[in-house]
C-alpha cells in the first residue's frame, strides 16, 4: 500500500519525516513524498539544515484515493507553509473525505486546521498549536499519542516510537 507523506519545500523536521518513513517501509508499505512543488525538499534538525529529499509526486497530481494513509510531518516552517498552499490544503480535504488514517505530528497539523478537518476531534501537537486547535473546534491535550478514529497525533520527535506503532497498526487494520 502507498502512504503519502505531505511536506512543503522546506522546514520539515527530518526525524518526523524519516522515522515514520522507515516504519512504513519496514511494515512492507510504500512511502511516497508528496509536495506542492516538484524537485527536492529541505529537511532540518530543528533549526539546522539536514538532508534533502526528492518529491515523488506533486499535490496537484497526486490522487488521495491512491493512498492508504496520509502522514503530516512537523517542522514549524513546514506546517506554516503547507497551510498557505491551496494544492496542499485541497489534497488534505480530499483525503479527509475518504476517511482513511491521517497521522500528524508537531506542527504538521496546521494544514488540517486550514482544511477544517479537526472540528470535534481530540488530538495533540506541539504545545504552541493548542490555541489554534481549540479555535478550530478540536479538543487538545498534552499527551504523547492520541488516536481519535482515523486521526493519529503526537507532539514531538520523542513521541515517534508510539506514533509509528499507531500508524502501522492503522495500516494493518
Q: Give the domain range for residue 9.
A: 2-171
H-helix or E-strand spanning residue 171 = helix 160-171
By annotation, the residues acting in catalysis are 106-107
User: pLDDT tens digit string along 84-140?
Assistant: 999 999 999 999 999 999 999 999 999 999 999 999 999 999 999 999 999 999 999
Q: What is the pTM of this model?
A: 0.98
DSSP for 20-52, please give it: HHHHHHHTT-EEEEEESSSSEEEEEETTEEEEE
For residue 156, the domain's CATH number is 3.40.50.880
With cut-offs at 50, 70 and 90, classify the pLDDT of residue 48: very high
* The total number of structural domains that make up the chain: 1
Amino acid at each position: 500500500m502507498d502512504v503519502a507523506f505531505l511536506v512543503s519545500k522546506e522546514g520539515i523536521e527530518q526525524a518526523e519525516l524519516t522515522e515514520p518513513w522507515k516504519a512504513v517501509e519496514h511494515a512492507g508499505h510504500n512511502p511516497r513524498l508528496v509536495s506542492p512543488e516538484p524537485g527536492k525538499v529541505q529537511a532540518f534538525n530543528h533549526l539546522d539544515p539536514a538532508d534533502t529529499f526528492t518529491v515523488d509526486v506533486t499535490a496537484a497530481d497526486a490522487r488521495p484515493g491512491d493512498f492508504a494513509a496520509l502522514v503530516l510531518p512537523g517542522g514549524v516552517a513546514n506546517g506554516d507553509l503547507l497551510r498557505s498552499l491551496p494544492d496542499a490544503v485541497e489534497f488534505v480535504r480530499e483525503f479527509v473525505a475518504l476517511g482513511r488514517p491521517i497521522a500528524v505530528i508537531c506542527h504538521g497539523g496546521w494544514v488540517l486546521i486550514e482544511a477544517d478537518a479537526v472540528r470535534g476531534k481530540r488530538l495533540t501537537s506541539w504545545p504552541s498549536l493548542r490555541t489554534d486547535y481549540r479555535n478550530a473546534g478540536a479538543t487538545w491535550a498534552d499527551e504523547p499519542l492520541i488516536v481519535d478514529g482515523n486521526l493519529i497525533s503526537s507532539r514531538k520527535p520523542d513521541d515517534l516510537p508510539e506514533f509509528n506503532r499507531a500508524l502501522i497498526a492503522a495500516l494493518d487494520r
